[in-house]
Amino acid sequence: MDPSFMEKNWDELPDPKRVWVGKPGSREEGLGRLVLLTPERVAKAAQTQIKTGIRVNLGWDLNKLEYACFNRQPCELKMVPLLDGVAFDDIYVMNPQQSSQWDGLRHFSMPREEGSKERVFYGGTTKEEILDRSSSRIGIQHWAQEGITGRGVLIDYASWAEKKGIVYTTFSLHSVKLSEILEIAEECNITFQRGDILLVRIGVIKEWEHSMDVKAKQAYAATTRPQHAGVEGTLDVLKWLWNTGFAAVAGDAISWEVYPPPPGTILMHEYLLAGWGMPVGELFDLERLAKVCKQQNRWTFFISSTPFNMPGGISSPPNAQAIF
């Protein structure tokens, strides 16, 4: 499929769940939805968003979550002395999914066809290709070449919900509704643009850092059926994400969307990653960003993110900052 299909409206797509652009192994296939980040759009974002020079890191500490679910290994930092301590190297042993990360296109699959038991990744990439270390098809190195860079938009649901008296835990099936996102955008005078990078703050990091003790964190890590609050998984949300023209989505939620999807809802990872090639950012640290946005009274900014340049990589820390 030609990359120009990324610019089409939902109703013009032959199969909205499988927008596979580019030839197998090509740059266009590897970029997926990031083909929307054209030089013109990135230049416009830089010109309109960088005004004060204030910079905000969007990556949480690499050693968080200290207690991660799905048996994900905590990050280890090993010090290696050289020349009897005259110098040091360090060795990182890590699973990027344990802390702030971009889910790459090799992370999540979908049925090849509706009702099919065979599952494939973006572009029809098979699990055999993923496991073949001589293949780097749809690896995260494609995103590293040009970065995930453009205009970012923050929807601070956590602050809005607190103001509205909405009480919830982020370790539940609490959902952020599309109507609420649009209401927040209207209150903040946000006008979305094609190529935007959408950030949704739901409050995971604030709750983890300030409301959970060690026992609660360990209990979460030990469960085999975790619950994660996030954006509701509906067809309306998917149509809105597509037609608005977002290049990527991210947030502080553990799964971005509600997980597991409640009955009657959609597992959006299948659409976003395997269907559209859209980066999904999770566990981004949006605490200081929310404060700066409030201080500046603006909810848009320039984002610069450079994922790992690892051929065949599945995920990566965002290495991201917002610039005002």
The tokens describing 93, both together, are 């042993």
Q: What confidence category does residue 114 fall into, taking pLDDT thresholds of 50, 70 and 90?
A: confident
* Contacting residues for 294 by C-beta, under 8 A, at least 6 apart: 156, 159
Q: 183 Cβ partners below 8 Å, 6+ apart?
A: 160
β-bridge mates for residue 81, sequence order: 88
For the chain, state the CA radius of gyration: 19
Tens of pLDDT, residue by residue over 64-102, are: 999 999 989 999 999 999 999 999 999 999 999 999 999
CATH number of the domain within which 245 lies = 3.50.30.50
Give the tens place of pLDDT for each residue, 236-295.
Answer: 999 999 999 999 999 999 999 999 999 999 999 999 999 999 999 999 999 999 999 999
Tokens of 22: 């580019």
What per-residue confidence (pLDDT) applies to 39? 98
Percent of the chain with pLDDT over 70: 100
Who's near 168: CB < 8 A, 6+ residues apart? 161, 174, 229
Residue with tokens 């990031």: 34
Q: What is the pTM of this model?
A: 0.96
User: 315, exposed or middle or buried, with CB in 10 Å at 0-12, 13-18, 19+?
Assistant: buried
Total domain count for the chain?
1
Domain that holds residue 34: 3-323
Q: Is the pLDDT of residue 23 over 90?
A: yes
State the pLDDT at residue 116.
87
3-state helix, strand, coil in the chain (%, to 5): 35, 20, 45
Beta strands at 248-251 and 280-282: parallel, antiparallel or unpaired: parallel
Q: What is the Cα–Cα distance from 99 to 78, expressed in whole angstroms?
A: 18
Q: How confident is the model at residue 115 (pLDDT cuts 50, 70, 90)?
A: confident
Report whether 305 contacts 137 (CB < 8 A): no
Mean pLDDT for the stretch of residues 149-164 = 99
Q: What is the mean pLDDT of the chain?
A: 97
pLDDT at 187: 98
Q: What residue spans of the chain are helical by DSSP H?
A: 27-31, 39-49, 127-131, 141-146, 157-164, 178-187, 204-210, 214-222, 235-244, 268-269, 287-296
